[in-house]
Amino acid sequence: MNPMKRMFHRHTMTSDLSEEMQQHLEEKIEALVADGMSHEEAVHAARRAFGNTTLIEQRSREVWMWPLIESIWADVKFALRGFRRNILFTITVVAALALGIGATTAMFSLIYAALLHPFPYAGANHIVNPRIIDEKHPQIPTWFALTPAQFNSFRKAKSIDSVLGFILADLETTGSDLPEDVSTAYVTSNASSFFGIPAMLGRGIQPSDVPDSGQSTNVVVLSYRFWKDHYSGDKTTIVGRTLQLNHKNYTIVGVMPSRFTFTETVGNADVYIPWTPTRAGALFPWIKLKAGVSLATANAEFQSLLNQFKQETPKHFPAAFRVSVQPIIEPYIHRTGSTLALLFASVVVLLLIGCANCSVLLLARGEARHHELAIRSAIGASRFRMVRQLLIEAFAISFAGTAMGVAASFWLAEFALRMMPYAFPQEAAVTINFPILAFSIGLALIAGLLSGLSPALRLSRPNVSKIIQSTARTTGGNTSKRTTNLLIGSQIALTFVLLGVAGAAIAGFLKVISTRLGYDPHNVMAIRVPLKRDTDKNQQQRANYINQLRERVASVPGVISVAVASSGIPPSQPDFGLGTIGPFEILGEQPKQQPQAAVSLVSPRYFATLKIPLLRGRIWDQAENQRGDFVAVVNQTLAQRYWPHGDAIGHQIRILSLKDDGGPLLATSPQSGGLRQIIGVVADSRNDGLERPVAPAIYVPYTTFMWDGTELLVHTAGAPLAFIHAIRIALQSLSPDQRTAEVGDLEEALHHQSIWTQQRLFSILFSFFAGLALISSLIGLTSTVSFAAARRTNELGIRMALGAQRSHIVWIVVRATLATVGSGIVVGLVLDLALENVLRHWTPGSVFTPWMIAVVAFLLIVCTIVACLFPARRAAMIDPMVALRGE
Amino acid sequence: MTLKSPKLPSEPRDLFPGALELMILQTLHRQPMHGYAMVQHIQQRSHDLLQVEEGSLYPALQRLLKAGLVDAEWKISASNRRVRTYSITPDGTKHLQREVSRFEQMLEGISLVLAPAKG
């Protein structure tokens, strides 16, 4: 009967069976009654003769079941029974695998949450940023904005599924005592359908908010954070309350959920308000491409549209540019892709170590089970059957390890996500979901196979006659010893590699935190001060106003020094514009390479506030500062690069980027792009991030080039943020609606540097993984030595009885293992050196030094010696009489 | 199934695997029968030396059905009862012949080994 038919028949077979057995009993009873028994007696007798009906039915049914599954289940039960008998062994192997699987699953969860599926928005894979690249500054891409009319024709492009138009604006709360900044996003009325995320409370912005008349209703949707901070999470009455912004009342219609943080790339919004042409004259398009449209196709179509738009509004676009829309995940991949790849590689190494460890332990246990296996083989178990049994044991271990590892992985992934807050999308959230479970089940299968296959093949071929005749103790296959040694050696080598990587990461972090800054961030804060947009374009008036702001802040008690710095806060450069490295000219010189420098717009007090020493010459005075033109101070790097003989002072330079480019919000001094004389040289301070060398820098008076905002650096007598209230009041005394925007402690800002957070996370995670690897390897090592010693108890007893010293016994036990460990360390060292260049590429922040490798090697050697000596000493402590009697 | 030996104290012993199947096939080779009748037949033929635990017949029948050595069919018996009647298939007949000759060989071997112990 074929299997299909059999399956189909299974049901009828068994129902026939019950009936048949019933018939049998009845017939028997009738026969017994006919022989003269009472009916009751006959029933009992028939039952007795028939036997246990349930059991018989069960057994009959089993005939029809799948023998494979049944017997696998039997194997599983057998394996579990074996594990229960040997709890310590079980805990050790399961833990060895759980460490590796847990860490690997955690990294996969992190990658899944941060890079593969971070955004909750509908069709997030197709959403792109509207990026264009200015041919003049190709390294600094920008976004393009459109006028309402342009937006309307743009949204009809063939490549586009839908577009969200948005623009950010700074509004402030009014109607309460102190005005507060509210970052507002004006979004087109299709926002709800574009994002596909329902509001947490109330509703999102919807098309009916902007009727065809164009007169929008005054409604506002709050972000989760704004709702928490300003309404303390009020759930019951929030919808319908009124929020007054810039003297206008808005009705709160909804609150978005916490994962909705649109969008970090351009600055998070506190509230969302429907866009109308009267509210803002331009829109950034957030574009959802149609499925299947390639980036190249979209770029080509948008390029021709934007070329038309440029004819209408030439000022909105660079002279020469190309469209290069960017999937929203791309910036993050750029930032953290290689970090995550390396972390993933390291947990895979950890997993391999775990598998090797598990193999070693299974082999060692198998040695002790030789007798059992030999008997099974002798009574006719096939090789296949025994391999299967041993593999099933390995799978049972790997699945138990996976269950534990997956449970732990959630916390580990969360931890990593929290530790690098600026590196991952804010929307990212670690969840345990189907792809991650599928991944971990895959891992369990691979781990089970990797760790179980070699012991299974090894142990399933016992030399039956030899084993059964001899006692268990004295035997031990040479080949399996070789396998064990190979596994132990590779474990040690891989552990060395991981320790090397961790050591390099820590050394890199130490280097970052001990970087000589060249300036003193202690008790200094930066305050961004927005200036009114309608301020006169008169340069002198604006310069005066900024100077007055500076003086008001300086008069606050406890403020030691105040400086203006309107082009970036150390140690970084701003993302674009002035302050980044750009070209300048040196009068009378035609160097082969265009001179490059970062241009900083500062006040003379800048150097004193940050304690940057003046090396030669002088700083410009107050009058020169007011004028803005003709003077410049350079840093030592620049002075030495172009005037190596120390004669920088007196030379003339020109910075064309300071020229008035006609931008609407700009005020410049008359000669801002003209010649300037170098009047002083200051010491170097970090101006290009912590990890890169100091860039050549030119300092010029801030009055030469002013936007609608500036920044004040305030050095205070204590923790700077405590002074912020007094400073705000001082600024308002100058002008009642003078606000302050972001405030940041310069010392803290160092910790937000991506190299800082990244290197810190690297150090912690790599050390953690390397630590796990070390523990794992040491467990493997200790158990191998223990098992080996236990197998030789008999021999050791004889040696001791014959007068061997305990130290000699210890030596005998560890001798073989030490050789293995030694070769493992040598291989690891070679691997470390070979991988150095690769790792240097992947983790530019890490530092590889021979000194660090030596420390790691020393640590590993000490640990392995301890791990070997511990069980060896125990073996040497046994009483020889007991050992011999054990026979 | 147990083998009742008059000489040994009543220590039940399993027959060798397949013995019951062999007896079933032999019984059915004579004529198709239902379960109860088969038990009666085996006990009578062995002069009650073989006490079949009646129920143990059924797992054996299922094994034979599955192997295609017997067929089953619901019929009305002589005593006017609906019974499931088994009959041997051609495969079953071949199997029976093969097994019987193997069994005889084995029995001969065992007797040869046991002979000196008796003497």
Q: What's residue A815's pLDDT?
A: 81
> Is residue A614 very low, low, confident or very high in pLDDT (cuts 50, 70, 90)?
very high
Closest residue in chain A to residue B64, using alpha carbons only: A63
Average pLDDT estimate for A198-227:
83
Q: What's the pLDDT score for residue A638? A: 92
Of B91, B73, B92, residue with least CA distance to B83: B73
Q: Which of A100-109, A572-581, A629-638, B62-71 has the highest mean pLDDT?
A: A629-638
Shortest CA gap A82–chain B (Å): 29
pLDDT digits (tens, 9 = 90+) for A101-135: 888 888 888 888 888 888 888 888 899 988 888 88
> Do the strands A697-701 and A596-602 form a parallel or antiparallel pair, or are they unpaired?
parallel
* DSSP single-letter state for residue A692: S
Could you tell me if A733 and A578 are in contact, meaning their C-beta atoms sit under 8 angstroms apart?
A: no
Mean pLDDT value of segment A273-281: 83
Q: What is the pLDDT of residues A849-874, one digit of tens each?
A: 888 888 888 988 898 888 888 888 87
Q: Which residues are within 8 A (CB) of A256 and not within 5 positions of it... i.e. 6 or more apart? A: A197, A199, A200, A204, A221, A222, A223, A224, A272
Q: In whole numbers, what is the pLDDT of chain A averaged over residues?
A: 83
**Torsion of Cα atoms, A110 then A111 then A116 then A117, to 10°:** 0
pLDDT of A539: 81
Choose the weakest-confidence range: A390-399, A458-467, A692-701: A458-467
* Rounded-to-integer distance, Cα A216 and Cα A191, Å: 15
pLDDT digits (tens, 9 = 90+) for A217-241: 788 999 888 888 888 888 888 888 8
Percent with pLDDT over 90 in chain A = 11
pLDDT digits (tens, 9 = 90+) for A154-175: 888 888 898 988 888 878 887 7
Nearest-angstrom CA–CA distance, A715 and A559? 6
Q: What pLDDT score does A426 carry?
A: 76
User: Region A468-479: what's the mean pLDDT?
Assistant: 53
The reported pLDDT for the residue numbered A533 is: 59
Looking at the complex, report in whole angstroms how far the Cα of residue A469 sits from the nearest Cα belonging to chain B: 25
The distance of A102 to chain B (nearest Cα, Å) reads 46
Q: Which residues of B touch A19 (CB under 8 A)?
A: 84
User: Quick one: pLDDT at residue A563?
Assistant: 93
Put simply, whether A65 touches B (Cβ < 8 Å) is: no
Mean pLDDT along residues A277-302: 88
Is the preceding peptide bond at A242 cis, omega within 30 degrees of 0? Answer: no
User: What are the Cα distances from residue A296, in Å, to A332, A718, B39?
Assistant: 21, 55, 84
Decide if pLDDT at A481 tops 80.
no
Q: Which residues contact A758 (CB under 8 A, 6 or more apart)?
A: A336, A339, A420, A423, A845
SS3 of A433-463: the string is CHHHHHHHHHHHHHHHHHHHHHHHHHHCCCC
* 3-state helix/strand/coil string of A280-341: CCCEEEEEEECCCCCHHHHHHHHHHHHHHHHHHCHHHCCCCEEECCEECCHHHHHHHHHHHH
Are the CB atoms for A685 and A750 separated by under 8 Å? no
- Residues of chain B with Cβ-Cβ distance to A17 below 8 Å are 58, 62
Quote ipTM for the complex.
0.80
Name the more confident of A444 and A876.
A444
Cα dist from B59 to A59, A358, A724, B13, whole Å: 6, 42, 89, 18
Residue A651 CA to residue A633 CA, distance in Å, equals 11
- Asked whether residue A381 carries a pLDDT value surpassing 90, the answer given is no
| A320 in B contact zone (CB under 8 Å) | no
Structure confidence at residue A214 as a pLDDT band (50, 70, 90)? low
Q: Give the Cα-Cα-Cα angle B13, B16, B19 (nearest 5 degrees).
A: 110
Whether A52 and chain B come into contact, CB under 8 Å, resolves to: yes
Touching check for A70 and chain B: CB below 8 Å?
no
Residue A632 has pLDDT above 60, yes or no: yes
Spatial CB neighbours of A81, under 8 Å, sequence gap ≥ 6: none
Cβ-based contacts of A55 with chain B (< 8 Å): 55
Give dist(CA A776, CA A358) in Å, integer: 10
Collapsing DSSP states into helix, strand and coil, what is residue A211? coil
pLDDT beyond 70 at B12: no
Structure tokens at B99: 């097994």
- Residue from the list A23, A50, A57 with its beta carbon closest to the beta carbon of B54: A50
Q: Tell me what pLDDT residue B94 has.
A: 92
CA–CA gap between residue A251 and residue A273 (Å, rounded): 10
Cis (ω within 30 of 0) for the bond into A138? no
Residue whose tokens read 């409370």: A201
Residue in chain B closest to A3 (alpha carbons) equals: B66
Buried b (16+ CB within 10 A) or exposed e, A360-375: bbbbbbbbbbbeebbe
pLDDT band at A53 (very low <50, low <70, confident <90, very high): confident
> pLDDT band for position A691 (50/70/90)?
confident
**Residue A27 is nearest to which of B36, B62, B63, comparing CB atoms?**
B36
Q: Which residues contact A823 (CB under 8 A, 6 or more apart)?
A: A489
Q: Please give the pLDDT value at position A463.
A: 67
Q: pLDDT band at A577, cuts 50/70/90?
A: low
In total, the C-beta contacts within 8 angstroms joining chain A to chain B are 65
Q: What is the pLDDT of residues A741-764, one digit of tens each?
A: 778 888 888 887 777 877 888 888
Question: What's the pLDDT at A415?
Answer: 82
| Cα–Cα nearest to A235, from A219, A251, A224, A220 | A224
